[in-house]
A = this chain, B = another copy of it.
Amino acid sequence: MAVQAVESRTSVPSAAPFGPAVALSCRECGERFDLGPSFACTSCFGPLEVAYELPAGDPEALRRRIESGPANIWRYAPLLPVPADVADRPNLEPGLTRLVKADNLAAELGVTGELYVKDDSGNPTHSFKDRVVAIAVEAARAFGFTTLSCSSTGNLAGAVGAAAARAGFRSCVFIPHDLEAGKVVMAAVYGGDLVGIEGTYDDVNRFCSELIGDPLGEGWGFVNVNLRPYYGEGSKTLAYEICEQLGWRLPDQIVVPVASGSQLTKIDKGLKELIALGLVEDRPYRIFGAQAQGCSPVSRAYKDGHDVVRPVKPDTIAKSLAIGNPADGPYVLDIARRTGGAVEDVDDERIVDAIRLLARTEGIFAETAGGVTVGVTRKLLESGVLDPALTTVVLNTGDGLKTLDAVAAGPTATIRPSLEAFRAAGLCEQ
């Protein structure tokens, strides 16, 4: 694997800006469209996704090509809608985050098989959003956009601000006005415009959809609206990395947080691609969705046996998952059911307990979204839905430093600097 520093030189426009991608395809009716800044089918209004002609041939050669690539998501460039020279362009170089074998956590949860935590807090702005934004930035370049934008629950705003700064775009991002301090500062510090919206994430999202149709939004690439088909593909890299880090092996069970639901659907897409390419064995895997009880429209629909997701008004500490009207909710339901998984939710108290549990056992400080996946994993083990004897991967998609208030941890004692004071504090008995 090449670990050399990536140059940020201005690169010559690539002949094939989207690499192996050949079209946008409607997820509902299958109609195909040219690769462009579109996100909805003109026939049926279904969401568009990227369609590929993926490299055929010897899987072993492809594996070797990937393994000798850069130590970030660009090792998978042959499977992404990006130009072949993408690693040479100025970007944040996200990905190849740790897959932690979590034996201590497994022991506490009664898992007898292998348990892993995919810790995406190691990305440049400390959430998985750096993956999706990196792909969207390349699409924005290809389409000639000059401003990068998004609606965000916080993590995405920081990821867009940082990526735009490095790649030479103006940025203007939109967040609900009441986010955590860490997320607000991180979204603002890169020098772009940050706009607080008086409302929920769903209000912010609606506003962005309006803006995109208005002359005000001309030349703007909204990473999760008009660039959404490209953006979403970044989440496939989580599936690729997990399998490569397991030694080119599928996990049996994977627990994924559900906000819009996009990430879960793209992890499924990534796993299917690896099977189709012969990079991993063709055998079943189960995907589980995890929500916070205070914003659990998909979990609710799953439990009620519905195919349709009824929007809710979020009320949870897991603000990064607080999307009351999840665009990909129905697809999440379909994947959970088709693969033999499930969708479950946990309340805020269990979220905080799970953050502490993961920190105490594996030294990983997750944001509330990580508390949701670990909490749901525990709940699904308790109810016998997750099989404790199989290989399970739990995603931590964000960083505890961005949701400090959730855990309210502090000193055990505060003392004068003397042995006497320390002795009196009673911390020495082990």
Which residues in A have some Cβ–Cβ distance to B below 8 Å?
1, 3-9, 67, 71, 90, 92-93, 96, 98-104, 116, 119, 122-126, 146-147, 158, 161-166, 168, 170, 172, 175, 177, 181-182, 184-186, 188-191, 193-199, 203-204, 206-207, 210-211, 214, 216, 241, 244-247, 355-356, 359-365, 399-402, 404, 407-419, 422-423, 425, 427-428, 430
Contact = CB atoms under 8 A, between A and B. Distances in A.
A104 B8 contact: yes
A363 B190 CA distance: 6
A363 B157 CA distance: 12
- Most chain B CB within 10 A, of A166, A198, A206, is at A166
Contacts of A163: 363
Contact of A407 (B71, B166, B189, B194): B189
A164 B214 CA distance: 54
Given A98-B93, A365-B190, A197 B165 contact: no
A355 B190 CA distance: 10
Q: Which 10 A-B pairs have the closest CB atoms?
A: A162-B363, A1-B1, A188-B409, A191-B360, A196-B414, A166-B363, A207-B417, A5-B99, A401-B401, A196-B411
Nearest to A118: B5
B1 A415 contact: no
Contacts of A425: 195
B404 A182 contact: yes
B195 A411 contact: yes
B124 A412 contact: no
Given A360-B191, A363-B124, A102 B207 contact: no
Contacts of A411: 175, 177, 184, 188, 194-196
Nearest to A412: B193
Given A125-B363, A198-B416, 15 more contacts: A4-B247, A5-B101, A5-B245, A71-B71, A124-B364, A162-B363, A165-B363, A166-B362, A170-B430, A172-B427, A184-B411, A185-B408, A188-B412, A189-B359, A207-B417
A186 B245 contact: no
Given A189-B359, A404-B181, A417-B204, A195 B412 contact: yes
State the oligomeric state as a number of copies.
2
A168 B204 CA distance: 45
B363 A198 contact: no
5 contacts: A4-B244, A122-B123, A125-B363, A162-B359, A195-B412
A177 B362 CA distance: 26
A184 to B, nearest CB: 6
Contacts of A124: 98, 119, 122, 363-364
A100 to B, nearest CB: 7
A101 B8 contact: yes
A101 B166 contact: no
A417 B206 contact: yes
Contacts of A416: 197-199
Nearest to A411: B196
A182 B6 CA distance: 31
A193 B364 CA distance: 17
Contacts of A207: 417-419, 422
